[in-house]
Structure 1
Amino acid sequence: MKLGKETLSLFKRDLFLGFSSVRFRWITSMSLFVIILIVSFYQLKGLGEIEGIDSSTLTYTDLLFNVFRGKEYPTPDDLNFKFPFLWLIIQLMGPFIIGGYVRDDLFDQSSFLFVRAKQRLSIWMSKLFFAIAVVISMYLIMAIITFLFSIFFLSVSPGWSEYGMKMIKPLIATDITPFVFSIHLFLLPFFITLLIVVVQAIFTVFMRPIYAFIIMLSMLVVSVFTTSRLVPGSYSMILRHHSLDSEYGFTWTMVIIYIIAILLIVVCSGYFLFKKMDIFPKERD
C-alpha cells in the first residue's frame, strides 16, 4: 500500500514535470504527424489518378494504411524496394519525445527523489508509467487528428473505398471490415512504440540519450531489411501481420508474447542495475 501511494505521488510529479519538459518535442512530433497525413493524402490522390481511382472516395482506412503499413518481408527478387520512411518517422516519435527526461530528472533531482522516496522501486515504476503515458498521449492525439482530418478531407463511408477494394482488400487473407482493419493498423505501431519508449527510458538511465536513440533507430532500420522476429519493428508493420501474410506473418499472440518477454527482461534487469547504481556522484550529460 505504501509503495502504491509513493509511486502514485511520484507519477503525478512526473506527469507535471515530464510533460512540461518534453512539451516542445511533443508539439513538434504532433505537428510532424499532421504533415505526414497531408503528404500521405496527396500520395493517395496521385496514385488514384494513375490507377484511375476516384480520390473523393478515400477513407481513413486508406490513409492509415498508407502511413502505417511498413514493408513486406524482404525477398531476393524485390526489385522495387521502397523504404517505409513514414512508418519509421512515426516509430521514432516516441523515443524522440521522451528523450533524456528520465536520466535528467534522476540526476538533476537526485537529492529530492532519493530523500523523499523510501523505496527505489517507486521511483523506477513512476518513470516507467510516465513513459507509457507519453505513448498513450501521443497516439490519442494522433487518433483525434486522424479523425478530424478524415471528417474534413476524406469520405466517411464505413465500407471499403474504391482504393481499398483495389489496393488493400486483395492483400487481406481474412474477412475483415475496414473499421477492424484500421484498429489493427493503429494498435500494432502503438504497442511497439510503447515497447521501444520504455526501453529507451531505461537505457537512458545507464547511457547518454543520444546513444539510446541510435540503438532504437538501428533496430527499426534493421527490421525493414530482415525477416528475423527478434527485432521489434516487424511487429508494427501491418504488411507482415498474419491477416496479410498468412504464410509467414505474425499473429497478435506472438506480438503480445514478444512485448511481455522483452519488457520483463529489460525492466527487471534494468531495475537490478538501478538498485546498485550510485546516482549522486554520477556525472550528468
Structure 2
Amino acid sequence: MKTKFTKLIKRDLIFGFENNKYKFIGVTFIFIAVIWINIANIQGAAFELGMSSKDINFTDLFFSLFKGIDYNALPLPVNWILIHIYVTYLIGSYCYDDLSEDSAHAIVRMGHRRGIWISKVIWMIATVMVFYLILLAILLIFSTTMFELSFQWSNFSKESILATLQSNYSGIQFVLLTLCIYILASITTSILQMLISFIVKPAYIYLINISMLVISLYINQFMLPIQGSLLLRQNIFDGMYPINPINTIVYNLAVFILVLIIGSIYIRKFDMLVSQKTD
C-alpha cells in the first residue's frame, strides 16, 4: 500500500507540474515585471528621503511585494491580489479534472479514495511552495544585481518599516514570518478551492476566490484565513488590530485540517467513475 501511495504521489507531482509548466513560465515573467515596478517605487521613495540604492536591500524589496494593506482599502494592494490570484490560477480545477479523467485507474491502483485526496493535497502544497520559491528567486536576483543582498534592516528599512513595526523582529525573522503567513494562507485557500472544485464548475471557483479577496479587503473582522496575509493589518504594526501572527497561523492550520478531513470524507461519496472532465 505504501508503494502504491508513493507512486501515486510521484504521478501527481510529475503530471501536475507538467500540466502547469507553461503557467509557471507565465507567472515568472509577470512577477519579474511586478517586482521591477516595485523597485522603481522603492528607489523613488528612497531618493525622496535623500538615500540611494546603497541604502536599499533584499528586505525592503521583499516588504514592498508582500506588505499588503492596512484597514484603508485604497489604494488597492495590487501585489497581494496578484499573488493570491496566481496561486488560484496554478491550482485551478486540476484535482477535479484529473480525477474525472483518470479516476478509474487511480482507484484500481490505490484501492481506496482517501489516498487519492491526500496525494492531490501534497501536489497542491508542492505547487504553492514552488510558486513562492519563484518569487524569492526573482527577489534574490534583483537584490543581488541592483541592491545589497542582505536580510537585515537597511537604512531605508529603518525609515519605512521600523518606524511602524512594533515588535522587535530582526530582518530575517520578519522575512521568515511573512513567508510562513503567506504560504499557510495560500495552502489553506487552495485546499478549500480543491474541495469546492468537486461541487461547482471551474469558472465559479475563480469567482468565489476573487470574492473572498474582495471581502477580505473590506471587512474588519478576522473571518477569512487569507486576511492574515494582509501584513499591514497584523498587530505587529498596530497593537489595536485584531490580527496577529499567532492567531493567523493557528486559524489557517485549523481550517486546513478541517477541510482536509472534509475532503477525505467527501471524496468517498464523489462519483468519480461517471463524472466528466471539465473544460
Q: Same fold by TM-score, threshold 0.5 exceeded?
A: yes
Note the aligned Cα RMSD (angstroms): 1.8
In the alignment, which residue of structure 2 is the partner of 1:282?
Answer: 275
Of 191, 208, 211, which aligns to 2:201? 208
Shift of 1:249: 4.3
Residue aligned with 1:250, SS: coil
Q: What amino acid sits opposite 1:20 in the alignment?
A: E
In the alignment, which residue of structure 2 is the partner of 1:8?
Answer: 6
In the alignment, which residue of structure 2 is the partner of 1:25?
Answer: 23
Q: Give the alignment's TM-score, normalised by structure 2.
A: 0.93
Residues in 2 aligned to 1:18 and 1:138: alpha-carbon distance in whole angstroms: 13
Of 113, 117, 127, which aligns to 2:110? 117
Residues in 1 aligned to 2:173 and 2:249: alpha-carbon distance in whole angstroms: 18
In the alignment, which residue of structure 2 is the partner of 1:177?
Answer: 170
Residues in 1 aligned to 2:177 and 2:258: alpha-carbon distance in whole angstroms: 26
Deviations 1:225-278 (A, max 9, x none): 111211123211221223212222423321222112212332222222221121
Residues in 1 aligned to 2:151 and 2:176: alpha-carbon distance in whole angstroms: 13
Mean CA deviation greater in 118-127 or 170-179 = 170-179
In the alignment, which residue of structure 1 is the partner of 2:54?
Answer: 56
Shift of 1:136: 1.2
Following superposition, which runs of at least 4 residues in structure 1 exceed 4 angstroms of deviation? none
* Structure 2 CA distance for partners of 1:276 and 1:69, relative to 1, 3 Å: same
Matched, 1:253 2:251: no
Shift of 1:38: 0.6
Residue aligned with 1:119, SS: coil
Of 207, 212, 216, which aligns to 1:219? 212
Contact persistence 1:14–1:126 (CA under 8 A): yes
Q: What amino acid sits opposite 2:89 in the alignment?
A: F
Of 200, 220, 233, which aligns to 2:226? 233
Q: What amino acid sits opposite 1:10 in the alignment?
A: L
Residue aligned with 1:188, SS: helix
Residues in 2 aligned to 1:14 and 1:157: alpha-carbon distance in whole angstroms: 37
* Structure 2 CA distance for partners of 1:263 and 1:158, relative to 1, 3 Å: closer
Residue aligned with 2:68, SS: coil
In the alignment, which residue of structure 1 is the partner of 2:32?
Answer: 34
Q: What amino acid sits opposite 1:85 in the alignment?
A: V
Matched, 1:91 2:64: no
Residues in 2 aligned to 1:7 and 1:157: alpha-carbon distance in whole angstroms: 42
* Structure 2 CA distance for partners of 1:110 and 1:221, relative to 1, 3 Å: same
Matches within 5 A, 1:49-198: 49-74=47-72, 81-157=74-150, 159-198=152-191
Unaligned runs of 5+ in 2: none
Shift of 1:189: 1.3
Q: Give the alignment's TM-score, normalised by structure 1.
A: 0.91
Deviations 1:171-201 (A, max 9, x none): 0112222222222232221211111122212
Contact persistence 2:101–2:276 (CA under 8 A): no
* Sequence identity percentage: 26
Contact persistence 2:16–2:94 (CA under 8 A): yes
Q: What amino acid sits opposite 1:192 in the alignment?
A: A
